Structure 1
């Protein structure tokens, strides 16, 4: 890989992050915020730095799925600002190609237990300002029931044992996961 390509990737990732930083400078946050991420290995030696920035609300005894997070409506996937995905390399979520850069993430849970991860091109907005016209794509999320409840929303970017990465969203007794791969 040439030094020019490496520098281009670094500049793109830095620019995407700089565009997203004003979102996190806003006042009025109601929940703690966190960044989850890491280096994810792709085929042929391709590596991506994938980070998710999100607000971490607490359950506080509330019913999460179907009430706090309504079924059939896009949810900001956290608290306060829209959840942000940043990658220095193109990723593949199902049939959706996500070019290197910054994107908002939403989750569309349904009463039947299915859900879709929404990848949206608009960044810098409050989480309730969702514009469907800006969707890059939607992919199925796999639902699992956890043995123990998770009090505070937790998002993780993990290595997938079958290759690539795995985006995990855990809250209450539910975990949604979406596999992705790193593009060359």
Structure 2
């Protein structure tokens, strides 16, 4: 009986501790007609983001934790290129003046270290210009205004046209 009480107490305490510690980069899902994006949302926390935490010229999982995944419910054009309906991992290669935005055929990857373009996994690669924000965006945010997917973090904003 005593062991049972100790075990029950440990379970209750452990559950309470977990409930009080939300993830540092929660999983966020945004959607619009015909498109849905799921990504980990890190915060700036005083860090240098692009060219620092996220190096220029290297593949980035475009968020935190596992890959950012995008689902098109209908065939689309993404950055002017045709894409079939389906779910894709979304990666980027940030640069100072433009980003390469990549749709990869293998969703739910653990991160950029699983990224594989050598086996023809990339479905689409498009270039998108970087614009500067006048204010600081504390949390990495992906939004889906009409006919676009927009990435914003720190003072950086990148937009890719999407049409159905």
TM-score, length-scaled by structure 2: 0.81
**Partner of 2:27 in structure 1?**
33
Residue 87 of structure 1, aligned match among 64, 72, 84: 72
- 1:30/1:79 contact within 8 Å kept: no
Q: Is 2:113 the counterpart of 1:119?
A: no
Q: Deviation string for 1:67-92 (max 9, x for gaps)? A: 11111111000000100001110111
Q: How does 1:3-22 map to 2 (within 5 A)?
A: none
User: Could you say which residue in structure 2 is the equivalent of 1:179?
Assistant: 161
Q: Distance in 2 between matches of 1:151 and 1:87?
A: 28
1:153 aligns with 2:140: yes
Number of positions where the alignment pairs a residue of Structure 1 with one of Structure 2: 139
In 2, Cα distance between equivalents of 1:56 and 1:78: 6
2:91 alignment counterpart: 106
- What 5-or-longer segments of structure 1 have no aligned partner? 1-28, 40-48, 160-164
SS of aligned partner of 2:37: strand
Contact residue 27 and residue 39 of structure 2 kept, 8 A: yes
Match of 1:73 among 54, 58, 62: 58
1:18 aligns to what? none
Q: Spell out, residue by residue over 1:125-157, the C-alpha distance to the aligned partner (whole angstroms, 9 max, x if none).
A: 111211113111111112111111000000001
Which ranges of 4 or more aligned residues in structure 1 deviate by more than 4 Å? none
- Structure 1 or 2, whichever has the larger Rg, is 2
Tell which has more relative contact order, 1 or 2 (C-alpha 8 A, sep 6+): 1
How far apart, CA to CA, are the structure 1 residues paired with 2:24 and 2:163?
33
TM-score in terms of structure 1 length: 0.72
Instruction: Name the structure 1 match of 2:115.
Output: 130
Contact kept in structure 1, 2:80 and 2:161, CA below 8 Å: no
Tell me how far apart the structure 1 counterparts of residues 105 and 80 of structure 2 sit (CA, whole Å). Answer: 16
Contact preservation (8 Å) 2:87, 2:107: yes
Answer whether contact 1:166 1:178 (CA < 8 A) is retained: yes
* Aligned residues: CA RMSD: 1.2
Paired position in structure 2 for 1:4: none
